[in-house]
């Protein structure tokens, strides 16, 4: 269980910007309710983002930052990159140690004008069917619709092309055992320069991210420890924030770092408890149906996926979040009162778990 220290946590209200409060729980033990309904997806357009094509490299570079950024070790860009690189290493190390058999495959890439990333994926391990932990740094120019996909509060803005910098870590972990929940987390930092048609406008910056748990079967003690689509929530809560710039950058960098630090202590104990639980074919079939929902949510509503596709990102890395296997059945409904029904009911009718 994360240590009970006074940590920054998040409250969320429909149609309002997230705000911070202090709470004596580990960062990922907060359950959010009152999510707004999933936004209507805007059609993909033919507009493109000016991002150079990536080049796969055999060794990690010294940095993914442009020289002007890398020379300032105290900048938020530089320190955020150092943080996500360290978290990728520590999370992958913890997952490999737990799995015991699988090893992460690593791909690194750069772009000529700066930026790049590292994808690390473990497949067909002893515990994980698929586990991915990616970091990326992007410099580019995006059209207004990509800006709106990246920043919720920009939905009604009609700006011209926007130069931007983005860095983040993103991970989705799909265990084999149906009783072990899927975990997703991502933490990111954005900066934009003035839109090209409004020179002199102030630079924008914000932090975003979250950690959430998506089980196929409910174990209340697991959810308490840890902490839409089709009128369902994707999972059973976690922490989520976006467009966060109401506090100074130092405080918010510390907040994002603490959230990332909480991933391993919040999730690994649950896996240790559930990874060897006996299961049968019906349990596995239900897990596959729920993974089908996960795929739907990620491809239709997930803002990170939408942004990656609209900005010409690396497809293998963007689709890393998808499970190896999933299942769809026409009009499937679990028997009322069954364990499967309890999960669906909790997804459709959010509750406070702590």
Place of tokens 């839409």: 228
Residues 6+ apart with CB under 8 A from 31: 223, 227, 236, 237, 238, 352, 353, 354
Q: Catalytic annotation on 332? A: no
Q: How far apart are the first and last CA of the chain?
A: 14
CA 242/CA 329 separation, integer angstroms: 34
Candidate list 174, 184, 225, 227, residue with the active-site label: 184
CB contact burial 186-223 (16+ within 10 A = b; e otherwise): bbbbbbbebbeeeeeeeebbbbbbbbbbbbbbbbeebb
Q: How many residues does the chain have?
A: 354
**CA-CA-CA-CA torsion sign (219, 305, 36, 209):** positive
Residue 317: how many CB atoms within 10 A of its CB? 21
Across the chain, the runs of DSSP E, i.e. the strands, are: 7-11, 19-23, 55-57, 105-110, 116-123, 128-142, 162-175, 182-192, 204-214, 238-244
Q: 274 near 179, Cβ under 8 Å?
A: yes
CA 51/CA 166 separation, integer angstroms: 12
Residues annotated catalytic, as ranges: 184
């Amino acid at each position: 269980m994360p240590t009970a220290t006074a940590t920054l946590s998040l409250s969320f209200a429909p149609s309002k910007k997230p705000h911070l409060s202090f709470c004596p729980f580990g960062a990922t033990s907060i359950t959010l309710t009152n999510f707004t309904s999933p936004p209507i997806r805007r059609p993909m357009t033919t507009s493109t983002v000016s991002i150079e094509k990536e080049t796969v490299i055999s060794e990690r570079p010294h940095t993914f930052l442009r020289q002007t950024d890398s020379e300032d070790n105290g900048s938020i860009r530089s320190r955020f990159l150092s943080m996500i690189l360290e978290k990728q290493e520590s999370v992958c190390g913890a997952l490999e140690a737990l799995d015991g058999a699988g090893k992460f495959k690593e791909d690194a890439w750069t772009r000529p004008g700066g930026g790049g990333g590292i994808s690390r994926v473990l497949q067909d391990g002893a515990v994980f069917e698929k586990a991915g932990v990616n970091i990326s740094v992007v410099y580019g120019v995006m059209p207004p619709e990509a800006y709106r996909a990246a920043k919720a509060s920009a939905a009604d803005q009609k700006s011209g092309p926007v130069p931007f910098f983005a860095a983040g870590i993103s991970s989705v972990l799909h265990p084999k055992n149906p009783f072990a929940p899927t975990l997703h987390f991502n933490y990111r930092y954005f900066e934009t320069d003035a839109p090209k048609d409004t020179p002199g406008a102030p630079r924008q910056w914000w932090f975003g991210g979250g950690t959430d748990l998506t089980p196929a079967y409910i174990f209340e003690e697991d959810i308490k420890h840890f902490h839409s689509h089709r009128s369902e929530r994707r999972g059973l809560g976690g922490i989520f924030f976006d467009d966060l710039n109401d506090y100074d950058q130092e405080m918010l960098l510390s907040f994002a770092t603490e959230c990332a630090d909480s991933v391993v202590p919040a999730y690994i104990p649950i896996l240790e408890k559930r990874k060897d639980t006996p299961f049968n074919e019906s349990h596995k079939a239900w897990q596959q149906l729920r993974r089908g929902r996960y795929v739907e949510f990620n491809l239709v509503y997930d803002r990170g996926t939408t942004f990656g596709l609209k900005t010409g990102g690396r497809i293998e890395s963007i689709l890393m979040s998808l499970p190896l296997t999933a299942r769809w059945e026409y009009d499937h409904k679990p028997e009322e009162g069954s364990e499967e029904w309890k999960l669906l009911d909790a997804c459709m009718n959010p509750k406070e778990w702590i």
